[in-house]
Every structure is written in structure tokens, then in C-alpha cells.
């Protein structure tokens, strides 16, 4: 769902059930586990969890006026999406997530490089998403991001 909303609450309120409840629950799982320093915002028309300019003034290399993205949540046409840049840049984190996923849900893992797609809103792995959100601190994400850029 491409969005031009300005606040997280506007984004959520525009969703229909059951997606509204699912996004709210994913959001709660992330917020309750996300290490200090990340900020919730609207980023790329989605709910975003970013490293703010106050902690990383350089911003995102593709557009330095934007804060450094880390996690995004979106309601797409056919699925809910969780974009996690840490999984994309860290093979160990990816392996952990892929191994843990079947223990938390009966849904088959549908994943791209950083995108985890949920086609059904029932049986979402909220606990696992919370654990994933807790795995990387702001300092670790900045270090990983900068190391990846230098490659």
C-alpha cells in the first residue's frame, strides 16, 4: 500500500482489519524489544525504525537527508512486509532467523534479502519478531552499515 501519510497512527488507521490489528501487534513486538536509540517514524511511506540524525548525522547514503533505516513495516497489496536491514547485512543473523522461524509459526517462510512477507495475518510470529528487533543495537547497526558501505 503506497502511502503518503505523515504519522504512524494515520498509517495504521487507514488499514482495514485484520491487517490493522496485525500491524499493531507487529509494531508492539518491535517497540517492546527495540534497543534504545532507534526512532519510530514514517519512512519511505511505511512505518520505519531508524537511527536518527542526532545519532548518525551522515544519514542514509542514498539520500543523506533521510535517517539511517533499520526496520520497516508495510501493508502491501497481497501481504504484510517486514524489512530488516540487519538480516540483509548479517549472514549469522539471517541463519538464526531462518532456523528459529519454523519454531514460532506454521506459516512457510517467504523471504527476500531483507523482506519477510506474511500473506496471512493469523499465526504471525510476534515473539520471534520481537527477538529479532532486540538482536542489534544502534551502535552495532551503524558499525555494520559502515562496514558494508566500505565493501
For the stretch 97-141, pLDDT in tens is: 999 999 999 999 999 988 999 999 988 999 999 999 999 999 999
Total of domains in the chain: 1
> Does 49 reside within a domain?
yes
> Does 48 reside within a domain?
yes
Range of the domain at 69: 8-150
CA distances from 94 to 6, 38, 116 (A): 31, 20, 11
| Chain mean pLDDT for the chain | 94
Give the three-class secondary structure for 82: strand
Q: In a 10 Å sphere around its CB, with 0-12 CB exposed, 13-18 middle and 19+ buried, how is residue 121 labelled?
A: middle
Judged against a pLDDT cut of 90, whether residue 74 lies above it is answered with yes
Mean pLDDT of 86-106: 95
Q: Which residue is listed with cell 515473539?
A: 127
The pLDDT-based confidence of 2 (bands split at 50, 70, 90) is low
> Does 1 reside within a domain?
no
What is the structure's pLDDT at 149?
86
> Does 3 reside within a domain?
no
Give the three-class secondary structure for 151: coil
> Does 65 reside within a domain?
yes
Residue 136: which residues within 8 A CB-CB, separation 6 or more?
35, 70, 86, 90, 93, 144
Percentage of the residues of the chain whose pLDDT score is greater than 90 = 89
Mean pLDDT of 6-28: 96
> H helices of 8-137, where?
8-13, 19-31, 85-89, 91-104, 126-134
Q: Which residue is listed with cell 517514524?
A: 41
The pLDDT-based confidence of 3 (bands split at 50, 70, 90) is low
> Does 2 reside within a domain?
no
The pLDDT-based confidence of 4 (bands split at 50, 70, 90) is confident
Whichever domain contains 69, its CATH number is 3.90.1150.200
CA 106 – CA 3 distance, rounded (Å): 30
Amino acid at each position: 500500500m503506497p502511502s503518503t501519510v505523515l504519522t504512524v497512527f494515520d498509517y495504521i488507521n487507514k488499514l482495514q482489519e485484520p491487517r490493522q490489528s496485525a500491524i499493531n501487534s507487529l509494531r508492539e513486538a518491535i517497540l517492546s524489544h527495540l534497543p534504545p536509540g532507534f526512532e519510530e517514524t514514517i519512512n519511505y511511506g511505511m512505518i520505519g525504525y531508524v537511527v536518527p540524525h542526532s545519532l548518525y548525522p551522515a544519514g542514509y547514503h542514498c539520500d543523506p537527508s533521510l535517517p539511517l533505516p533499520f526496520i520497516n513495516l508495510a501493508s502491501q497489496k497481497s501481504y504484510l512486509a517486514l524489512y530488516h536491514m540487519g538480516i540483509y547485512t548479517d549472514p549469522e543473523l539471517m541463519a538464526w532467523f531462518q532456523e528459529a522461524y519454523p519454531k514460532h509459526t506454521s506459516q512457510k517462510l517467504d523471504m527476500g534479502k531483507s523482506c519477510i512477507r506474511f500473506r496471512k495475518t493469523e499465526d504471525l510470529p510476534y515473539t520471534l519478531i520481537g527477538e529479532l528487533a532486540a538482536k542489534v543495537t544502534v551502535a552495532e547497526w551503524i558499525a555494520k552499515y559502515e562496514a558494508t558501505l566500505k565493501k
